[in-house]
Amino acid sequence: MVVRWEPAQYLKFADHRLRPAIDLLNRIDADPRTIVDLGAGTGNVTRLLQARWPNARVTGVDSSPEMLARAADALPQIAWNQADLSAWRPRESVDLLYSNAALHWVDDHATLFPALFAMVNPGGTFAVQMPNNFSARSHTAIADVVRSGPWQSKLEPLLRTPPVQHPSMYFDLLTPAAASLDIWETEYVHVLEGDRPVLEWIKGTWLRPLLAALDSEERAQFESRYAEVAAHAYPRRNDDRTLFPFRRLFIVATRA
């Protein structure tokens, strides 16, 4: 799926989005010489990879020119490549292939994950984090709002089947080539502030393709309707904050 990103919108919740990336990073026990950050976005995590392994050659790959432009301005010392994540292939295999909150935008994980793992050197690491909140109301409400408004015919073809599968599927896909494999899920409870915070969160990610297909008036109506549903599912507390549970899937595999 081709998504036109707005870095400023995505970075509204940068601290919350960074925490899973750090949790994934902290589970990697390796000393890589070559690192690829696949789905690097604005480079917030790529910076951490470079800081932890300063002698490694780090490359950031992303499909969004808007995100990469921001990354290159902040971190000119890192090599940045624009590529479709589903078709990207390195010139040579790497010691650490790291991907945070990116591969859920790519379909056919049954083919994708073994192919990516094959790009890792023997003894190297494949580390992945993906949102796995697609059965939560924050995401199921999207389809409900799409199908209950005048935009149904325009937006329904853009709805996607939840891309992230059960952890057992990834275990089965990667085990044949793995010396070790660690898979786990974590549900973060994000404490959000401001008006319509769940809408603002989802606008930066899963709603992007849908909103891009609407004109300004339709977009405002869609956002208002989604915000009403989200506010019911995630009510604002008496202290004006909103608790937003969000589940994520983690994988750290070492290649045999």
pLDDT at residue 14, as a whole number: 61
Tens digit of pLDDT for each residue in 15-70? Answer: 777 899 999 999 999 999 999 999 999 999 999 999 999 999 999 999 989 889 99
pTM for this model (two decimals) = 0.91
pLDDT at residue 239, as a whole number: 96
Could you count the other beta carbons within 10 Å of the beta carbon of residue 15? Answer: 10
Residue 1 clears pLDDT 50, i.e. is over it: no
Structural domains in the chain, sorted by start: 7-255 (3.40.50.150)
Q: Is 87 in a helix, a strand, or coil?
A: coil
Of 91-95, 184-188, 201-205, the least confident: 201-205
Write 175-178 long-range contacts (CB < 8 A, 24+). Answer: 177/114, 177/117, 177/118, 177/255, 177/256, 178/117, 178/253, 178/254, 178/255, 178/256
pLDDT at residue 252, as a whole number: 98
Q: For the chain, what percent of residues have pLDDT higher than 70?
A: 95
| Confidence label for 163 from pLDDT (cuts 50, 70 and 90) | very high
Residue 109 clears pLDDT 90, i.e. is over it: yes
